[in-house]
Amino acid sequence: MKEYKSGSHSKYDLKYHIIWCPKYRYNVMTGEVAERIRELVREICKANYVWMVSGHVRPDHVHILVSIPQNLSVSKFVQYVKGKTGRKILQEFEHPKKRYWGQHFWVRGYFAVTVGDLNEKAAAEYIDSQDKEQGDDNFRISR
């Protein structure tokens, strides 16, 4: 039987596939930067009771499949993620600072689509197939 999350007066299962890119789609998310982005996204998910199904940090964009509680909007969650990760990356690393001198690491927009029970497997497989490198981690980084 399917496990649903519970609120005080509700049961829900809201999953979203979210994608966003750095400005100018530069390939800056490699090595330590990619690892730090993954770590920050996990922290933000945990702090907001968001369950990470899977994810992938590519050099020029990020994919995540998340289950968001009903009291948190997708736009607010993306605002938290992009705001904190962008600020921290520009504070902690020198080479992105040279490219993104205006203190804007991410593009303004993002892509989000709801994922139902049938599409969840397809979305997770799509995120996993972005790179042939396989591991036991559900939030990977492209090398």
User: pLDDT tens digits for 51-98?
Assistant: 999 999 999 999 999 999 999 999 999 999 999 999 999 999 988 887
Fold classification of 11-141 (topology level): Alpha-Beta Plaits (3.30.70)
pLDDT at residue 73, as a whole number: 96
Q: Is residue 111 very low, low, confident or very high in pLDDT (cuts 50, 70, 90)?
A: very high
- pLDDT tens for each residue of 121-130: 777 777 777 7
Confidence tier at 133 by pLDDT (50, 70, 90): low
Neighbours of 55 (CB within 10 A): 23
Among 12, 16, 110, 126, the active-site one is 126
Segments making up each domain of the chain, as ranges: 11-141
CA separation, residue 69 to residues 14, 23, 56, 138, 140 (Å): 7, 29, 21, 20, 23
Sign of CA dihedral 70, 122, 106, 52: positive
Q: Which pTM was predicted? A: 0.82
pLDDT at 134 over 60: no
Is there a catalytic annotation at residue 49?
no
From 19-23, 37-41, 112-116, 138-142, the region with the lowest mean pLDDT: 138-142
**Average pLDDT over the chain, rounded to whole?**
87
